[in-house]
Structure 1
């Protein structure tokens, strides 16, 4: 997995939320109410129910292309208010903040750049910054290289038989 520093704050929040599940390390920040509260507090957010966070993450991971996720829906209470800077989403929960960020990315045409690494032992969420939106792996140096080498070995073995 690659550490990225997306410039857009909505990208950073959505990617961080999706990566509360770390397949490679075998960790899940949503495994307990305490770890969920810590994750939300670290970002200045109010956690809300753990079950809602898990549902929201599963729905967003599915929407981002996680092959291990089944399509589902998630929702949160979000209001649109107008202040001196213009319209803004407001919410009282961390899941609402994440869904607001995801909605803004969608409106800006950036949601399709949020992806899940297809490597079985990775599944890291990343933001595709490539010009033509064609990036597949979280990192070509680790997951991409490993998958390409595996595919080459399978092709070479098939040709040898």
Structure 2
């Protein structure tokens, strides 16, 4: 039950942060050509499903574009968002209320933990799906070896001279 005030989302552990960030990056589906942040209603729906306030469409899109660039090795200028550290139970956490704030907060936490390099976009140009690389050495290149990885390897095999 809420009292009508904006509730904050507590960003606390790496697995939740990674899931939130990957879900946020995947609001843009390159393969299907769909964008959940194309409209305010889409943003509101995504925010509601993740227990967040939507914030502005421009802030959410700007954060997503910058973070997609960041995880592919770019050095974008990240949007300035307020992050509210607090001490709760098992340590320090970051509070955020809007979609853009939560995505940036998740990125900050993963960066501090040294895990941001595990958030990647599929190397297949027609896919670009975000995923968290759970492989031992962090060298996974495709969202799915069965789909994008197989396509790439088959394409490379066919391109070899006979």
TM-score (norm 2): 0.85
Q: Name the CA shift for 1:84/1:137 in 2 (closer, same or farther; >3 Å).
A: closer
**In the alignment, structure 1 residue 31 sits paired with structure 2 residue 41:** no
Q: 2:53: which partner in 1?
A: 46
Deviation at 1:20, TM superposition (A): 0.2
2:7 maps to which residue?
none
* Residue correspondences, number: 149
RMSD across aligned C-alpha pairs, in angstroms? 1.8
Aligned match of 1:75: 80
Equivalence for 1:15: 22
- Cα deviation, 1:68-126, whole Å, max 9, x if unaligned, reads x8834222111112244432211221211111111111111110000000111100001
Separation of aligned partners in 1, 2:133 and 2:87: 31
Structure 2 residue 148 is matched with structure 1 residue 138: no
Q: Which moved more, 1:119-128 or 1:87-96?
A: 87-96
1:154 aligned partner: 159
Q: Secondary structure at the match of 1:8?
A: helix
Query: Which consecutive residues of structure 2, in runs of 5 or more, have no partner in the other structure?
Result: 1-13
Aligned residue in 2 for 1:3: none
Identify unmatched segments of 5+ residues in structure 1. 1-6
The alignment partner of 1:46 has SS state of: coil
**SS of equivalent to 1:126:** strand
